[in-house]
Amino acid sequence: MGKTSIETLGLVRRLLALLAVVTFFAQITQHFGWILYLEIFSHFQVQYLLVAFLLLLSLVWLRCHRSICVGLLLFAILFFPLLTWYIPPELTGASAPTVEIRILSANVYRQNRQYDKVLDLVRSQSPDIAVFIDINEIWQQQLDTLGDLLPYSYGQSGSHLGLLVYSKRPLANVNIELFGTEDNVSVVAQIPNEDGPITFVATHPVPPLSSDIFRSRNQQIDLIGEYINSAPTKRRIAVGDLNITMWSPYYRRLVSKAGLHNTRKGFGILPTWPTHHPKIPALLAPFVRIPIDHCLVSEGFWVVNATTGSDIGSDHKPLTVDLAISNR
């Protein structure tokens, strides 16, 4: 082995050791609610897998057999938990169930001015319920033009991180909840249904930009979980930009407490943020994208489809979910 190959092997081994340490923290922080800067390690499972794969290919090319075993183990630790998100949902028979509720969730980013992209998306998707996040009064004026398609609206646009819900049918028992914050609104309601009303929560926990806001986000997520858990209805749905991925311990606590599961299960990771960001180079953005926009449902639903939409000018991709009622 030449000098260059030895130096390259040394670099790959050091990178592999570094990735092993990061992966260790990523696995630990999925289960323990530590401080913000450690929880961040949990969010980038897909990126760790990609790096592990590239390092493994390098070790194979360099024919370093002992290190290849370590690389394979690290790759397997990262690969198999991610694979479960791509295993198709169980079938209900010869044909897929009929879609009864289509939900669209879009963080439009209030400084975004590409209104037509959002309006065209809504008209093409024709959702039964649409949740719009990070809304101001100008955005509300634009969205109100959808009144022929979604005549009923609820929420607030003037508050911090405004949130609006538009619906084809009137919702029942609609309230604005703050979940421990001063002005970060969530909309809670019931969707009328012949098999019994469905508890519906549209929310946007604050982005964890500091330690204090991190604690506020976690408190808000806990209170949302408690609210959903105490809901008197059999079926429950929570939708929105949760500013958290499926690998965070706070996400795990939410779905466990509220008895929910993620509708993207079986349809892939479906990363939604960032599509682009002023502090992230455009070429790099797709490689750091993570899934923080969610639709969570209880038992009593079939998830027929879950998909992300195209660029709407926001830093988030929209999420569309098709649901059917089941008797599970």
Tell me the pLDDT tens digit for each residue of 298-309: 999 999 999 999
Hey, what amino acid is at 96? A
pLDDT on residue 55: 83
Residue 122: the pLDDT is: 98
Quote the percentage of the chain above a pLDDT of 70. Answer: 92
Span of 8-12, 63-67, 216-220 with lowest mean pLDDT: 8-12
Find the Cα–Cα–Cα–Cα dihedral 290, 296, 302, 305, rounded to 10°.
-30
Average pLDDT estimate for 98-118: 95
- pLDDT of 168 reads 98
Percent of the chain with pLDDT over 90: 66
Mean pLDDT, all residues of the chain: 90
Give, in order, the Cα–Cα distances in Å from 183 to each of 110, 206, 227, 251.
16, 11, 18, 22
Q: Which two tokens stand for residue 156?
A: 């607030």
| 89 band by pLDDT with thresholds 50, 70 and 90 | confident
Sheet containing strand 198-203, strands side by side: 172-177, 186-191, 198-203, 235-241, 293-297, 261-262
pLDDT at 43: 93
Q: Is the pLDDT of residue 167 over 60?
A: yes
Please report the pLDDT score of residue 5 as a whole number.
61
More confident residue, 327 or 128: 128
State the Cα–Cα distance between residues 116 and 201, nearest whole angstrom. 27
Q: Tell me what the mean pLDDT of segment 41-56 comes to.
A: 89
- The string of pLDDT tens digits covering residues 183-217 is 899 999 999 999 899 999 999 999 998 888 999 99
CB 29 within 8 A of CB 48: no
Of 9-18, 136-145, 147-156, 297-306, the least confident: 9-18
In this prediction, residue 209 carries a pLDDT of: 87
- Is the pLDDT assigned to residue 247 strictly greater than 90? yes
Q: What is the pTM of this model?
A: 0.92
φ, ψ of residue 233 to 5 degrees: the values are: -90, 155
Q: What's the rounded mean pLDDT across residues 107-124? A: 97
**Residues 202, 224: contact at Cβ < 8 Å?**
no
> What's the confidence (pLDDT) of residue 94?
47
